[in-house]
Amino acid sequence: MHRLRLAALVALICVCLGTCEQLDKPEPAAAYLAIQNPTVELDSVSGFSSNTGIRNLWIYYAGLLQSVVRTSKDSLVTVPILNTGRSDFAIDGGIFETGQSAFNIPYPFWQPLNLVTNVVAQDTLLISPKFRYIAPTFFDFIVKEDFEGGSMDLVPFASGLAGDSTFMRLRNNASVFQGNGMGYVHFGPGDVFFEAISANSFSLVRGRTCYLEITYQNSIPFQVGLLHQGSSGLGTYEIINVSPSSEWNTIYINLITYVRQIINLGGDNTEFWIWLKADGADAEGYIQMDDIRLLQMKN
């Protein structure tokens, strides 16, 4: 009886050892990509770059997506890579589409970065990706307002109540985002409304990738949308409410759906304007903005 129990126990240990050996098989030795402060070059002449809009990175190995990682402005993000030897990586810079953190997408107007390197197991490759816009031959700059000089591309407007806040170009201020000037809206005591549109109307093509970029810092929330005039008359389409941000932030608003809906109603000859407005609700505060771009792919 005791012998039988002992034999059963030995058999059980053998099964366990066999299983444990399988579980303890060593993992392939990984290498790591350590990604520090990804930026986007906004001005190829001055080399001015910003990290206010990149939210995620799309990492491809040999053409296949390997991982998507959230980035952080200040901290290092480490990604394990299992492929060692001579390796061919590509990295796309991504955004929160229309400011929504649930919608991570590679930004279609930035070029992917290509990285061919010899990866050694357990090594860490430190990279600081700097993305650039795709060549201008692929898209149209519909509006570009950097508040640097010439006439303003953004002018006061009143679709309803007249704006009573102060809207101006502020120059040589220490908190300017890019260059020497920025757009500045001040809500003093008793000021309530701000409203502005792009100075000139423009046309857009239904179905083409189209984004509006705004870099902003604000204590008063504001709304972004489109003013449009087509066969159905003049109308406004409010797209998003932008919450206060204590530091410069960039939002990338995907316009393709709104442009399609508006052109479906108003026809292919519909004219558009960028439309910004804010209700200060008697609170004192400010909205700063810079580097406003409306981009549309050529096809």
Closer CB to Ca ion, residue 113 or residue 199? Answer: 199
Q: Which residue is nearest to Ca ion (CB)?
A: 179
Read off the tokens for 122: 């357990």
| SS3 state of residue 259 | helix
Closer CB to Ca ion, residue 251 or residue 259? Answer: 251
From 67-75, 102-110, 147-155, 218-226, span contacting Ca ion (CB under 5 A):
147-155
* # residues contacting Ca ion (CB under 5 A): 6
Closer CB to Ca ion, residue 170 or residue 197? Answer: 170
Residue 199: DSSP 8-state: S
Read off the tokens for 202: 């423009």
Closer CB to Ca ion, residue 39 or residue 270? Answer: 39
CB of 177 to Ca ion, least distance (A): 6
Considering only residues 179-208, where is the footprint of Ca ion by CB under 5 A?
179, 181
CB of 202 to Ca ion, least distance (A): 21
Neighbours of 64 (CB within 10 A): 7
Residues 259-278, one symbol each (x = binds Ca ion by CB under 5 A, - = not), give: --------------------
Closer CB to Ca ion, residue 146 or residue 195? Answer: 146
Closer CB to Ca ion, residue 177 or residue 272? Answer: 177
Neighbours of 285 (CB within 10 A): 18
Considering only residues 14-43, where is the footprint of Ca ion by CB under 5 A?
none
Please list, in sequence order, all residues whose beta carbon lies within 8 angstroms of the beta carbon of residue 72, skipping any fewer than 6 positions away: none
Q: Measured between alpha carbons, how far is residue 241 from residues 99, 197, 262, 274 in Å?
A: 10, 16, 19, 14
Rule CB under 5 A: say whether 217 interacts with Ca ion: no
Rule CB under 5 A: say whether 145 interacts with Ca ion: no
From 72-80, 86-94, 257-265, 288-296, span contacting Ca ion (CB under 5 A):
288-296
| SS3 state of residue 13 | helix
Query: CA-to-CA distance for 85 and 121, rounded, in angstroms?
Result: 8
Rule CB under 5 A: say whether 290 interacts with Ca ion: yes
Please list, in sequence order, all residues whose beta carbon lies within 8 angstroms of the beta carbon of residue 175, skipping any fewer than 6 positions away: 182, 217, 288
Neighbours of 249 (CB within 10 A): 17
CB of 252 to Ca ion, least distance (A): 18
| Whole-number CA gyration radius for the chain | 26
Considering only residues 150-179, where is the footprint of Ca ion by CB under 5 A?
178-179
Backbone φ and ψ for 62, nearest 5 degrees, come out as 50, 40
- Per the DSSP assignment, residues forming a β-bridge with 126 are 34
CB of 94 to Ca ion, least distance (A): 25
Neighbours of 262 (CB within 10 A): 22
CB of 179 to Ca ion, least distance (A): 4
Rule CB under 5 A: say whether 146 interacts with Ca ion: yes
Closer CB to Ca ion, residue 97 or residue 213? Answer: 213
Please list, in sequence order, all residues whose beta carbon lies within 8 angstroms of the beta carbon of residue 195, skipping any fewer than 6 positions away: 156, 157, 158, 159, 160, 163, 275, 276, 277, 278
Closer CB to Ca ion, residue 146 or residue 213? Answer: 146
| SS3 state of residue 1 | coil
Task: Supply angle C-alpha 111, 137, 133, rounded to 5.
Answer: 25
Selected binder of Ca ion within 147, 157, 167, 273 (CB under 5 A) = 147
CB of 182 to Ca ion, least distance (A): 5
The residues binding Ca ion (CB under 5 A) are 146-147, 178-179, 181, 290
